[in-house]
Amino acid sequence: MQEETISPQEILALYTSGPDILQAALAGLSEVDLDACCATGEWTIRQIVHHLADGDDVWSMCIKVALGAPGSTFSFDWYPGNEPWGVRFNYAAREVGPALDLLRAHRLHVIQLLESLPDGWGRSVTVAAPYQPEQEEMTVGTIVGLMARHVEQHVEQIQQIRAKNGR
Ligand code: NI
């Protein structure tokens, strides 16, 4: 996996810059532009932003469980999947401002926690998710890496949508 070739410092730098990278990818877009997408059925830019904020929202709690109660099991049994979640939380129609603020707050909060807990990076939880057959032990570092790349990957998607729509 790519993860092994990237140092914790690089992961943390990417995680830290995520909100700025996302904000930059949205620069100059109108409310109408945010509803642009690539193909019918794919998410709009607006929906992607809400998906990113919710991803960090859920996984930040998982990070806090790993830091505060290492060795616990964090379950995603309740999670219906990205698409149903997006429908339930009306990703298609909500303004993105509060979601961007939430993403930034989560990252600042987690970074502050990691600075105050020098061994925090290696603490872990067991993650139980319906989409994977076996439970998986995940360290905080692994989860931070997932979140860092999650924003990066969806920012590429946003850039592709912008390019396709000439925005
Ligand atoms: Ni995603």
Going by pLDDT thresholds of 50, 70 and 90, the confidence category of residue 161 is very high
User: 51 C-alpha vs ligand 1 centroid, how far in Å?
Assistant: 7
User: 151 C-alpha vs ligand 1 centroid, how far in Å?
Assistant: 8
Give the global pTM. 0.94
State the Cα angle at 15 between 76 and 119, rounded to 5°.
75
User: 29 C-alpha vs ligand 1 centroid, how far in Å?
Assistant: 21
pLDDT digits (tens, 9 = 90+) for 20-33: 999 999 999 999 99
> What percentage of the chain reaches a pLDDT higher than 70?
98
**100 to 30, 77, 95, 117, 165: CA distances (angstroms):** 15, 26, 10, 26, 23
User: 117 C-alpha vs ligand 1 centroid, how far in Å?
Assistant: 28
Query: Is-contact 141 121, C-beta < 8 A?
Result: yes
Model confidence at 37: pLDDT above 60 = yes
pLDDT digits (tens, 9 = 90+) for 47-56: 999 999 999 9
